[in-house]
């Protein structure tokens, strides 16, 4: 394995693992499509932040994405509660609108934004080794690798702290509230973490494929397991394997790495479903 | 075990003038009653009579339009530890990847210990609760592999683990086998004999009389409450289960489809004058 | 830019393309009305994303962008995604939501992989397949446009032909089954129409934004009508207008994608409708609430005058505002406005800062007091609420009770003389 391949696979694996950690709860809470909506809706915020700050590695990007993610959640709530529109349509309208605005901004400011429509969809994981950064003499290597390592550490710490809270909230929210637990705190911190993963993974695997990494490995793991911790661990394993398999598949047929990662994750799921059916019969 | 409770004087649960709506439609009209300690109380009424809404209002899971609730003479937040709530069995996803034991452990979760491990005392309480409902041998099972009756026992064990003085249960006898029904009733009677109070939402009139010491008969408004013999009369049952109050349901429709505030804001009248006069 | 704008609007190919997107959008909106009613917006979104690999494989097979092949590929992969979502939801323990998200993202991922593969292969350079991502109507050839437009017309005709059946299916499938409709066949037909509409629609807006073309028009139309027929007409109108506007804007600059512009137009109309539509829009409801609040205040002021008169034993006396405050605490500052409204309505008469009922005003005050006391009577007798508990409830309901309900109350209570507090119930003099 070349060092480039190693960097790409490791970056992909870290992103997939972070996604799987949070995605497990997203699946259990039946909020997968909300993750989908957020991942689309952060686009205009990211583009505006690019335009204003003129660079991609900035906290402005994070703030912009967070702002438009927040706008999306607000819009969905507003449409659903105040305008009394059904929930599925509220989600559908909000994210398509924001995503359309994002695409228009990109095509309007093509020259000024170092971001194109393809990047939005597939990410630029293939260019990971090219984007080097060094932290003095301590470490030097690809910046996206560093970012995804920090992301993974953050997600892991968050999950260790809030494991019981999230478990309680996901299993039976009413019971949690009856115990006097402020479920809103856990809900919002969780959604904030999902948004963070979405934003940081954006340039690596693209806006839409991040949903696959959030949902598919977790859903596959859910099929196989009966308790929570094994499910999360298995989801992480599926995510990491998808990164490996995806890289070699993409190299093999000369296609998008992010697309191939998702394809492999989907294959795991398909195999699991078929296998379970066979096992159930015998 | 609960000496505190037996020493408690006054009503365990007071509901004052409680009105509540669901999707803007009034479901409860001025409910007003109080329950004494150490009894099995059934909240009984036909489908859609607001039984679950009443329970959710008591637990602060819904916002009332007016009125208030007192538990042990205090606000819910001051006495959370003494109150245990058991939602309907269908309200959770039983495919959720947790074991029986983990669910019962959730009864020991508190806002303060969410980031810590449970202590030895907590584990003892969990064991005792599982033992009481006869689920100790299934402790490691995933909850989806249980029968309906066993699932209900798990919910009961979670409530027991909370070690409360007041239990509020929503339809604990739905979809359970006869053996479980007896077992649950036995556990609840034991609780009552220890001086604890159990309030149960129940829709089955046939069994209500034999299960409960007293009853709250509900049909969007309070029909009657008190000892079972006083409530379980032909007239009251006829009133609760017989024809609807047409005017009331028509008015509910009007409210649901209009943009009228369900309660007037800032309403205050000088006492002894006008219509406020007694 | 300005120079360009002089000629682009007269471009005949522009109008051809606009006509094409118009038909595609309208057909999507018509079929999407049912998708919206069935609360399957997100399923529609998933199907749209799932069409991408089908289109790519069709291209690999045929080696060119032939509309018939592309349609076939799109239909097959769209249907496959529907079947898979259904299977995952019903046969595994995955929730509906997870099934949708999984199918959507995996199909799309596979599509992206195939697309990048095609683009990097020799023949793919010119394929223009990535137009499917965001829609690039301008790139469509006129020959293709005729085919797509024709299919859109077929789609609209089929929806009209089965309108009644689809309506029943979306509204109440159990009932449809009970009266002997072939529900399964209809479901398959409606699903096929949806997949076809999506396959056509992505030519105009691309797969990512297709969900908007399907459901946003219906959501926008919802607030204008309760009837399904009218809703479909209005949503078709909105979709058609947005399609033409979006196409015109995207033609004004090179490399401007059509899809996002159409979707932005649609969304803006939808958001405006949801917030501002008369009657059911958010603003209209807020205004209605304010109107109600005023009505309540006015009625409370009249009632206060009445109570004053009742206590003084003279309903025809002149009272000042100070006297009112002795009866009831009003919110600061509301009384002068309410008095002005009541004077304008002719319910009160004024003489140097003192006020008296007019004939109509006295009737109105009587009505409110009557409703209050009747309702107290009802609560007391029928709901058996204690006399000291009924006042707050009646305080609200007196403003809501309609004449029909009043008539029913009177009949049920048999025209009582006095309320539970022994105050007389005033009837028309």
Query: Which neighbouring-strand residues pair with B268?
Result: C329
DSSP state of C400: T
Tell me which residue of C388, C383, C262 sits closest to B247, measured CA to CA.
C383
Is position A134 within any domain?
A: no
Nearest CA-CA distance, residue C108 and chain A, Å = 8
Has residue C125 got a pLDDT over 80?
no
Tell me which residue of B242, B260, B264 sits closest to B251, measured CA to CA.
B260
Strands B221-227 and B214-219, by their bridges, are antiparallel
Structural domain span for residue A29: 3-125+139-274
Strands B166-170 and B197-202, by their bridges, are parallel
Task: Test A174 with B91 for CB contact under 8 angstroms.
Answer: yes
**pLDDT value of position B264:** 54
C216 within 8 A of A93, measured Cβ to Cβ = yes
**CA A152 from centre of chain:** 12
Query: Which neighbouring-strand residues pair with B70?
Result: B14
Contacts of C25 in chain A (CB under 8 A): none
Q: Where are the alpha helices (DSSP H) in B96-141?
A: 100-105, 120-132
A175 within 8 A of B103, measured Cβ to Cβ = no
**pLDDT value of position A259:** 92
Is position A281 within any domain?
A: no
Q: List the domains of chain C with CATH numbers.
A: 11-277 (1.10.3470.10), 284-357 (1.10.10), 362-413 (1.10.60.10)
Rounded to the nearest 10°, the torsion over CA A137, A142, A147, A151 is -100
Q: Where are the alpha helices (DSSP H) in C92-141?
A: 96-120, 131-134
Tell me the two tokens of residue A4. Answer: 């480039």
Has residue C77 got a pLDDT over 80?
yes
DSSP state of C330: P
- In three-state secondary structure terms, C140 is coil
Task: Test B248 with C331 for CB contact under 8 angstroms.
Answer: no
Name the phi and psi angles at C388, rounded to 5.
Answer: -85, 5
**Axis-axis angle for helices C41-62, C12-37 (nearest 10):** 130
3-state helix vs strand vs coil in chain A, percent to 5: 80, 5, 15
Q: Is residue C164 left, alpha or beta, with left meaning phi > 0 and alpha meaning psi from -120 to 50?
A: alpha
Chain C interface mutation, best of A89, A218, A249, highest count of C Cβ atoms under 10 Å: A89
Is position A282 within any domain?
A: no
Tell me which chains share at least 3 CB pairs under 8 Å with chain B.
A, C
CATH number at residue A119: 1.10.3470.10
Burial of C292 per CB tally in 10 Å (0-12, 13-18, 19+): middle
Whole-angstrom Cα distance, residue B6 to residue B25? 40
Has residue B270 got a pLDDT over 50?
no
The HSE-up count of residue B6 (CA atoms within 13 Å, CB side) is: 8
Name the phi and psi angles at B30, rounded to 5.
Answer: 40, 60
Whole-angstrom Cα distance, residue C413 to residue C43? 53
- Which residues 85-114 on chain B approach chain A with CB closer than 8 angstroms? 85, 87, 91-93, 96-99, 102-103, 106, 109-111, 114
Q: What is the mean pLDDT of residues C210-215?
A: 94
Residue B273 — very low, low, confident or very high, per pLDDT cuts 50/70/90?
very low
Count of residues for chain C?
Answer: 429
Whole-angstrom Cα distance, residue C298 to residue C306? 12
Whole-angstrom Cα distance, residue C379 to residue B217? 17
B101 within 8 A of A190, measured Cβ to Cβ = no
C398 within 8 A of C372, measured Cβ to Cβ = yes
B261 within 8 A of C293, measured Cβ to Cβ = yes
B238 within 8 A of B65, measured Cβ to Cβ = no
Whole-angstrom Cα distance, residue B214 to residue A49? 65
**pLDDT value of position A115:** 67
Is position A108 within any domain?
A: yes
**pLDDT value of position B9:** 63
Compare C31 and A129 and report the one with higher pLDDT.
Answer: C31
- Considering its fold, how many domains does chain A have in total? 1
DSSP state of B197: E
pLDDT tens track for C175-198: 888 888 899 999 999 999 999 999
Whole-angstrom Cα distance, residue A171 to residue B142? 13
**pLDDT value of position C10:** 61
Tell me which residue of C14, C3, C4, C151 sits closest to C70, measured CA to CA.
C151
C206 within 8 A of C257, measured Cβ to Cβ = yes
The rounded mean pLDDT for chain C is 88
pLDDT tens track for C246-280: 988 888 877 678 889 999 999 999 999 999 888 88
**pLDDT value of position B272:** 37
**pLDDT value of position B66:** 87
Whole-angstrom Cα distance, residue B247 to residue C378? 9
Is position A183 within any domain?
A: yes
Handedness of CA B18, B22, B24, B28 (dihedral sign): negative
Contacts of A30 in chain B (CB under 8 A): 93
Q: Which residues contact C177 (CB under 8 A, 6 or more apart)?
A: C183
Whole-angstrom Cα distance, residue A246 to residue B238? 69
Whole-angstrom Cα distance, residue A119 to residue A208? 11
Tell me which chains share at least 3 CB pairs under 8 Å with chain A.
B, C
B76 within 8 A of B65, measured Cβ to Cβ = no
Whole-angstrom Cα distance, residue B187 to residue C243? 67
Whole-angstrom Cα distance, residue C332 to residue B255? 27
Please give the C-alpha separations between residue B45 and each of A243, B48, B67, C11, in angstroms, as whole numbers: 57, 8, 21, 72
> By the CB < 8 Å criterion, does A222 face chain B?
yes
- Which residues 115-154 on chain B approach chain A with CB closer than 8 angstroms? 115, 142, 144-145
Tell me which residue of C214, C271, C184, C281 sits closest to C36, measured CA to CA.
C214
Has residue C5 got a pLDDT over 60?
no
**pLDDT value of position B87:** 95
Has residue B13 got a pLDDT over 60?
yes
HEC profile of C354-397: EEEECHHHHHHHHHHHHHHHHHHHHHHHCCCCCCCCCHHHHHHH
| Candidates B95, B262, B275; nearest CB to C372 | B275
Whole-angstrom Cα distance, residue B226 to residue B33? 9
A with C: how many residue pairs have Cβ under 8 Å apart?
202
pLDDT tens track for A123-161: 777 777 877 877 777 777 888 899 899 999 999 999 999
Query: Which regions in chain A score pLDDT beneath 50?
Result: none
- In three-state secondary structure terms, B217 is strand
**pLDDT value of position C3:** 47
> By the CB < 8 Å criterion, does C331 face chain B?
yes
DSSP state of A128: G
Nearest CA-CA distance, residue B249 and chain C, Å = 10
The rounded mean pLDDT for chain A is 89
Q: How many helices (H) and strands (E) does chain A have?
A: 11, 2
**pLDDT value of position B262:** 63
Chain B interface mutation, best of A176, A180, A221, highest count of B Cβ atoms under 10 Å: A180
Is position A280 within any domain?
A: no
DSSP state of B92: S
Strands B268-269 and B214-219, by their bridges, are unpaired
Whole-angstrom Cα distance, residue C55 to residue C199? 9
B49 within 8 A of B203, measured Cβ to Cβ = no
Burial of A215 per CB tally in 10 Å (0-12, 13-18, 19+): buried
Is position A239 within any domain?
A: yes
Tell me which residue of C376, C366, C368 sits closest to C418, measured CA to CA.
C376
Is position A119 within any domain?
A: yes
Chain C interface mutation, best of B247, B249, B256, highest count of C Cβ atoms under 10 Å: B247
**pLDDT value of position B127:** 96
pLDDT tens track for C287-345: 988 998 899 899 999 999 999 898 888 888 888 888 888 788 888 788 889 999 999 99
Count of residues for chain B?
Answer: 278
Contacts of B52 in chain A (CB under 8 A): none
Tell me the two tokens of residue C418. Answer: 């006095």
Task: Test A161 with B158 for CB contact under 8 angstroms.
Answer: no
Whole-angstrom Cα distance, residue B252 to residue B28? 10
Rounded to the nearest 10°, the torsion over CA A189, A192, A198, A199 is -140
**Axis-axis angle for helices C282-312, C334-345 (nearest 10):** 90
> By the CB < 8 Å criterion, does B263 face chain C?
yes
Contacts of A167 in chain B (CB under 8 A): 98, 102, 106
Q: What is the mean pLDDT of residues B246-252?
A: 83
Q: Angle at the Cα of C289 (from C283 to C290), degrees rounded to 5?
A: 90
DSSP state of B169: E
Whole-angstrom Cα distance, residue C383 to residue C376? 10
- In three-state secondary structure terms, C291 is helix
Nearest CA-CA distance, residue B111 and chain A, Å = 5
Whole-angstrom Cα distance, residue C373 to residue C415? 11
Tell me the two tokens of residue B187. Answer: 């556990």
């Amino acid at each position: 394995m070349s060092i480039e391949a190693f960097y790409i696979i490791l970056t992909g694996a870290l992103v997939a693992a972070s996604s799987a950690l949070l995605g497990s709860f997203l699946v259990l809470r039946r909020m997968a499509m909300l993750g989908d909506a957020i991942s689309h809706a952060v686009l205009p915020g990211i583009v505006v932040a690019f335009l204003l700050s003129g660079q991609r590695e900035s906290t402005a990007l994070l703030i912009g994405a967070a702002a438009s993610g927040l706008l999306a959640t607000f819009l969905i709530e507003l449409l659903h509660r105040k305008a009394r529109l059904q929930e599925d349509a509220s989600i559908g309208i909000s994210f398509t609108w924001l995503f359309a605005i994002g695409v228009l901004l990109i095509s309007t400011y093509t020259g000024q934004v170092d971001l194109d429509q393809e990047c939005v969809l597939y990410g630029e994981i293939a260019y990971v080794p090219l984007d080097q950064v060094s932290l003095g003499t301590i470490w030097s290597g690809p910046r996206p690798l560093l970012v995804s390592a920090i992301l993974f550490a953050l997600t892991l710490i968050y999950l260790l702290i809030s494991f019981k809270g999230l478990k309680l909230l996901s299993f039976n929210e009413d019971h949690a509230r009856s115990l006097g637990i402020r479920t809103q705190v856990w809900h919002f911190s969780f959604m904030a973490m999902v948004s963070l993963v979405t934003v940081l993974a954006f340039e690596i695997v693209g806006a839409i494929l991040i949903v696959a990494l959030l949902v598919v490995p977790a859903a596959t793991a859910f099929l196989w397991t009966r308790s929570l911790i094994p499910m999360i661990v298995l989801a992480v394993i599926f995510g990491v394997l998808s990164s490996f398999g995806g890289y070699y598949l993409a190299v093999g047929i000369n296609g998008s790495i992010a697309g191939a990662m998702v394809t492999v994750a989907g294959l795991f799921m398909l195999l699991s479903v078929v296998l379970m059916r066979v096992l159930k019969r015998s | 075990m609960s000496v505190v409770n037996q020493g408690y004087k006054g009503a365990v649960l007071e509901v004052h003038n409680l009105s509540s709506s669901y999707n803007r439609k009034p479901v409860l009209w001025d409910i007003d009653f109080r329950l004494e300690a150490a009894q099995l109380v059934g909240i009984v009424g036909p489908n859609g009579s607001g039984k679950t809404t009443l329970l959710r209002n008591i637990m602060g899971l819904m916002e009332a339009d007016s009125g208030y609730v007192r538990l042990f003479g205090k606000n819910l937040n001051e006495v959370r530890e003494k109150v245990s709530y058991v939602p309907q069995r269908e309200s959770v996803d039983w495919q959720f990847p947790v074991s029986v034991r983990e669910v019962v452990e959730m009864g020991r979760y508190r806002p303060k210990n969410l980031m810590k491990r449970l202590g030895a005392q907590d584990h003892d309480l969990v064991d005792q609760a599982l033992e009481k409902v006869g689920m100790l041998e299934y402790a490691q099972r995933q909850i989806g592999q249980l029968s309906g009756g066993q699932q209900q026992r798990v919910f009961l064990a979670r409530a027991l683990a909370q070690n409360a003085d007041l239990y509020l249960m929503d339809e604990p006898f739905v979809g359970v086998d006869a053996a479980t029904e007896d077992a649950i009733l036995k556990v609840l009677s034991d609780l009552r004999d220890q001086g604890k109070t159990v309030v149960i939402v129940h829709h089955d009139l046939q069994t209500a009389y034999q299960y409960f010491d007293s009853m709250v008969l509900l049909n969007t408004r309070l029909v009657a409450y008190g000892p079972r013999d006083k409530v379980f009369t032909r007239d009251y049952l006829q009133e609760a289960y017989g024809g609807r109050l047409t005017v009331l349901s028509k008015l509910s429709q009007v409210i649901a489809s209009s943009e009228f505030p369900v309660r007037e804001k800032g309403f205050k009248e000088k006492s002894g004058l006008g219509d406020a006069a007694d | 830019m300005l120079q360009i704008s002089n000629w682009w609007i007269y471009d005949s190919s522009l109008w051809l393309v606009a006509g094409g997107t118009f038909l595609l959008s309208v057909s999507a909106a018509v079929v999407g009305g049912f998708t919206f009613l069935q609360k399957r917006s997100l399923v529609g979104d998933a199907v749209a994303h799932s069409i991408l690999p089908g289109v790519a494989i069709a291209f690999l097979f045929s080696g060119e962008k032939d509309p018939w092949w592309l349609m076939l590929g799109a239909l097959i992969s769209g249907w496959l995604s529907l079947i898979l979502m259904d299977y995952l939801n019903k046969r595994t323990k995955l929730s509906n939501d997870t099934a949708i998200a999984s199918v959507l993202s995996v199909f799309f991922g596979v599509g992206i992989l195939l697309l990048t593969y095609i683009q990097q292969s020799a023949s793919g350079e010119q394929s223009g397949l990535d137009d499917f991502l965001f829609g690039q109507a301008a790139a469509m050839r006129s020959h293709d446009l005729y085919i797509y437009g024709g299919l859109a017309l077929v789609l609209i005709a089929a929806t009209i032909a089965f309108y009644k059946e689809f309506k029943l299916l979306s509204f109440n499938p159990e009932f449809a089954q009970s009266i002997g409709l072939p529900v399964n066949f209809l479901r398959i037909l409606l699903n096929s129409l949806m997949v076809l509409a999506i396959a056509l629609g992505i030519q105009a807006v691309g797969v990512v934004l297709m969900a908007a073309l399907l459901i946003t028009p219906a959501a926008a139309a919802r607030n204008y009508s309760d009837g399904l027929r009218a809703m479909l007409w209005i949503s078709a109108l909105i979709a058609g207008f947005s399609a033409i506007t979006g196409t015109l804007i995207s033609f004004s600059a090179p490399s401007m994608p059509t899809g996002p512009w159409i979707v932005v137009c649609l969304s803006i109309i939808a958001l405006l409708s949801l917030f501002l539509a008369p009657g059911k829009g958010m603003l209209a409801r807020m205004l209605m609430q304010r109107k109600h609040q005023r009505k309540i205040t006015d009625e409370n002021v009249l009632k206060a005058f009445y109570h004053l008169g009742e206590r003084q034993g003279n309903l025809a006396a002149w009272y000042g505002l100070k006297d009112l405050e002795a009866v009831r605490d009003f919110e600061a500052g509301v009384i002068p406005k309410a008095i002005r409204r009541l004077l304008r309505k002719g319910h009160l008469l004024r003489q140097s800062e003192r006020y008296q009922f007019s004939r109509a005003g006295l009737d109105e005050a009587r009505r409110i007091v009557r409703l209050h006391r009747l309702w107290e009577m009802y609560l007391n007798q029928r709901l058996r609420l204690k006399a000291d508990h009924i006042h707050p409830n009646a305080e609200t309901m007196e403003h809501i009770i309609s004449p029909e309900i009043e008539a029913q109350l009177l009949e049920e209570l048999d025209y009582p003389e006095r309320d539970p507090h022994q105050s007389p119930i005033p009837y028309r003099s």
